[in-house]
Amino acid sequence: MLNWENLIGHAATVAHLKKNIAEEKFPHAVIFSGEEGVGKRLAAEICAAALLCENPVDGSPCGKCENCHLVAAKTHPDFYVVEAEETKTAPNIKIGQIREMQAEAALIPINSARRVVIIDGAELMNNAAANCLLKTIEEPPSQTIFILLTASRSSLLMTIRSRCMTINFDKISAAQIRDALISQGVEAQEAERLAVIAGGSFGRALKLKDSDGVQIRETALDTLEKIARAEFTNEEIFKRGAEMGEWSREKFADFLNHVQKILRDICFAEVTELHNPDLAPRLNAIKISERKIFLMIEAGAEFHRRLKSNANLRLLAEAYLMTLRKISGGAHFGR
């Protein structure tokens, strides 16, 4: 059931949202901004339940009425969610989806006094979709509340940003993630490790728990170790490229993220807190100059952008590994 106790962290934000709901001051258009997996979607659904609930208590949904049940089951007639659709390349939200939503939003609510529309991944709207949404947000149907969720607020149209109130969802502390994992039955040592790697995102921690996330980090570290020791042969690169070509684009993005974080850890170990404190001894042993690390981080950002295009993943992975090796000190052919 949707209730605030299930949201991890964000105490001040939750208090603010509850107050707005209780005082009937919830904005007509709001942006929940924050990284993937910090709880924006859950918070938005709890808000929707509370806004549609027959007997909300201090900004919380009662959890007992028909409206609460229908929102939780995602079958409430006045509750509408727009989500990105998977495509061959990057997921996106199309103008057709926004038009469909608008047709619904224009109708009089059926069960409640208002409608709530969630747009999850608002930065994934293409230009046409964003401009179409803008018209609705400029003159919103009076009974409809829009909650836009985004991990990249700066990618939204300025005109959309300026018409929405923004609520920031910060990263969740490692301790809070660890405790939440333990309460879900994860063993303490594993919870500690996942919480560190998750980098403030509970969603990421769960994904790591269920997937080979720890293994991806190991692959990233191992790649950099080999590159620093000039052990990366062409053969090795093609072998890895072939393996990575079979990965999902999301998994390769995770790999890129891990490499970036490890590079930052190597470079800034003395001035900031490490992303990967458990790896400190191995990080210390990697000798790459600061200048080269900056170049590698730049290359990583560039490949992240290219990943969003239609590029063949195997070729992209090979090109990335070649680039890292080139920066580290030139090619080492065969062995």
Residues in the site for Zn ion, rule: CB under 5 A? 53, 61-62, 65, 68
Residues 6+ apart with CB under 8 A from 253: 304, 307
Whole-angstrom CA distances from 41 to 65, 122, 241, 295, 306 are 21, 12, 35, 36, 27
Query: In this structure, which long-range contacts are made by residues 326-334, counting pairs with CB atoms below 8 Å and at least 24 apart in sequence?
Result: 327/292, 327/295, 327/296, 327/299, 328/227, 328/228, 328/230, 328/288, 328/292, 328/296, 329/230, 329/292, 331/234, 332/230, 332/231, 332/232, 332/233, 333/233, 333/234, 334/233, 334/234, 334/235
Q: Are 48 and 82 in contact (CB under 8 A)?
A: no
Nearer to Zn ion, 62 or 157 (CB): 62
* Residue where the block lists tokens 């901004």: 33
Q: Please state the closest distance from residue 59 (CB atom) to Zn ion, in A.
A: 12
Nearer to Zn ion, 65 or 319 (CB): 65
Q: Are 293 and 267 in contact (CB under 8 A)?
A: yes
Nearer to Zn ion, 57 or 285 (CB): 57
Element housing 115 (H / E): strand 115-120
Q: Please state the closest distance from residue 15 (CB atom) to Zn ion, in A.
A: 20
Nearer to Zn ion, 55 or 312 (CB): 55
Nearer to Zn ion, 112 or 144 (CB): 112
Nearer to Zn ion, 68 or 205 (CB): 68
Q: Please state the closest distance from residue 79 (CB atom) to Zn ion, in A.
A: 12
* Residue where the block lists tokens 């042993």: 285
Nearer to Zn ion, 54 or 179 (CB): 54
Q: Please state the closest distance from residue 152 (CB atom) to Zn ion, in A.
A: 33
Q: Please state the closest distance from residue 82 (CB atom) to Zn ion, in A.
A: 24
Q: How many Cα atoms are found within 13 Å in the side-chain-facing hemisphere of 190?
A: 14
Q: Please state the closest distance from residue 145 (CB atom) to Zn ion, in A.
A: 16
Whole-angstrom CA distances from 1 to 73, 184, 284 are 9, 16, 46
Per 3-state DSSP, the chain is made up of helix, strand and coil in percentages (nearest 5) of 55, 10, 35
Q: Please state the closest distance from residue 87 (CB atom) to Zn ion, in A.
A: 37
